[in-house]
Structure 1
């Protein structure tokens, strides 16, 4: 069993789970009388993995107009069914908890999915949902819709001005959002610091955190000035901004798995040079984040049917970009759990935590790719995947 916090293995591990919670864990513990025994032989036990940036309601295609087509042709009922399928795929891949950061035009259906999973109606990971997301008018999907179609569905709740931003925050919290998602930029900075701060103030008043989509340097700076709790993507972070994140306790949720996969494909020299430069920038920022002690959490950002269930790609990417195997595993367990405020519930195999665990064949500290080949998944003491059967 890997003790992720300590960074070492516990040999001959025994975990005792009672009523869905871990009551004992350690080496060569006595098995309580009458317990159901599951012997996983020489496989390696890990805490259930956590994806801190997913979109379970999103199954967009590859074309430029796929987002528009989804909003125009799929009912909310269909989107909810898609979300259920994506949730199951994510759970079977070993991710027993997720932070769903915006429903991509399906309203509050992500919160309905969260509640259905909790009620046992569908299989899926434990969820925190951000509901609709909050973006500036004209700066989020769909793009290219005719101007005389003002009622066409939109991918987020679009606002203009402090009052509208505050109202959106209140509406989403009122409908049960666990956290709020703001778009601090798109191609350029969008929502003002004042608009962002209005959302943050409302969220924090109700003990909700705020995740900020922020890729540009100025967008990141605006989000930090407004007091957000996490920077999502953070493509153009700088050492100065990372130092501010450390001082303010802000988490960086990386979403770099797609870039890592693109890096390994064949491209023209010009495209490859751009990818290489981006990867170098990300690696340098991760090194700075590690040196400063900035919390890094793993988030794959899947948005297509093919990507849901491949969330562990992000873990392998983080290891490759400089976090190392243990650092990447921490990003997908204890760090993500701390961001979610669930450090006492998930992300570790210690007493008091949920009985959420996975098993892999091999040594993930030596070969991080093993996390993409999970053979056993348990959530709350219930086996949801067992490849030995």
Structure 2
């Protein structure tokens, strides 16, 4: 990619960044301090009862008994019979490409979004606006997915960017990281999976399958360059051949649980390769193999005592899922990623996948927790969210970086 093309992409990125910042408004100024109390507090790891959270200057300062904290701040929000928890982290979204209003997402309980397929933007928000981190465009084979479905030309300000060689792939990885990408996303999608949303006509017809995909040498070039620069690689994979290339190519994460039914050996190999798996079970529920794949992956993880490989992702931007917290995604995660029996530890594991585990995966210190020095991103709902995931879709309190965005408790 030449410098002239990069310049055009940079101008579009600058305009997009300004628009994004403008859409994030609507919150009041950050409180210098506040104390929030609730009957149930999930700190990202465990459930605490009758606990208070003290925030100062956009960070969590202390967590403890109200009486031990009350002298430090006059601003109090008493929630009573409610559940207080870290803001939800969405690990798979397409906000910029689909022009989703970030304030809508924030008000519905998601305080951090990882945008994985769309115009490249630097990290932003987290201070009363939705925190956004970006992968930028999906690296793809010439003539392949996603541009063959969504149309247009590729570039840093598009949904896809084509590479024709390992050398070109390394260059694109460097450009993405220089522009602020927190993860590199690639497509290994030949098409043809029954029930897959990318097999629906998006206005330009459905190209004959199989579609061109990146070869193994190019994938290895992408992962080695990304790892050299301290970034992970996530892959859109829908079937067995793409998953095998991802495993052999050193990919770190699957952006979806695969859509088509995949043999047990290949799925076990993915677990052995220490991959992470973003769920997106709800938006891909029409895929014929996804539930069986999740079941097999879970049993493979259990065999090796691995309980931290799933990350919550709902794919905000699709029309068939909420543009905020997705209670059905959490429900499906509970039933498909918990093994043969379900207990409260499995419930907590779902919450961790959407908070502390996702924050650690992003590499943002203490994000997704309510622990000292963590970003003061919090949501709360009336009642017990561990018994009814659905109520998380309509939070009564949303705090972003110490700024109160929603507070229905005062009404």
TM-score range, shorter chain: 0.7 to 0.9
**Aligned 8 A contact 2:43 2:371 in 1:** no
* Pair 1:139-2:160 in alignment: no
SS class of match (2:49): coil
* 2:251 match: 228
Q: Quick one: which of 352, 359, 365 aligns to 1:337?
A: 359
* Pair 1:283-2:305 in alignment: no
* 2:94 match: 55
Relative to 1, partners in 2 of residues 1:243 and 1:143: Cα closer, same or farther, differing over 3 Å? closer
Return the offset for 1:311. Answer: 3.7
* Pair 1:214-2:213 in alignment: no
Structure 1 residues 85-124: aligned runs within 5 Å: 85=101, 87-103=102-118, 107-108=119-120, 110-111=121-122, 114-115=123-124, 117=125, 124=129
Return the offset for 1:291. Answer: 4.5
CA distance in 2, matches of 1:285, 1:160: 33
Q: Quick one: which of 387, 391, 399 aligns to 1:370?
A: 391
Relative to 1, partners in 2 of residues 1:308 and 1:372: Cα closer, same or farther, differing over 3 Å? closer
* 1:13 match: 51
* 1:126 match: 131
**Aligned 8 A contact 2:44 2:370 in 1:** no
CA distance in 2, matches of 1:6, 1:166: 38
Return the offset for 1:216. Answer: 1.3
**Aligned 8 A contact 1:319 1:368 in 2:** no
* 1:64 match: none
Return the offset for 1:303. Answer: 2.5
Bigger drift between 154-163 and 127-136 goes to: 154-163
SS class of match (1:30): helix
Structure 1, unpaired ranges of 5+: 60-81, 263-273
Relative to 1, partners in 2 of residues 1:377 and 1:237: Cα closer, same or farther, differing over 3 Å? farther
SS class of match (1:258): coil
TM-score in terms of structure 2 length: 0.74
Q: Which digits, 9 at most, give the CA deviation of each residue in 1:137-170, with x for residues without a partner?
A: 1112343799xx9799963001122122122212
The Cα RMSD (Å) is: 2.8
* 1:258 match: 283
Structure 1 residues 317-356: aligned runs within 5 Å: 317-323=332-338, 324-342=346-364, 344-356=365-377
SS class of match (2:399): strand
TM-score in terms of structure 1 length: 0.78
Return the offset for 1:230. Answer: 0.9
Relative to 1, partners in 2 of residues 1:331 and 1:198: Cα closer, same or farther, differing over 3 Å? same
* 2:224 match: 201
Return the offset for 1:372. Answer: 2.1
Q: Which digits, 9 at most, give the CA deviation of each residue in 1:312-359, with x for residues without a partner?
A: 2422321232434322212111221222122x3211111121111111
CA distance in 2, matches of 1:10, 1:199: 43
* Pair 1:296-2:296 in alignment: no
Return the offset for 1:238. Answer: 5.0
Return the offset for 1:31. Answer: 1.3
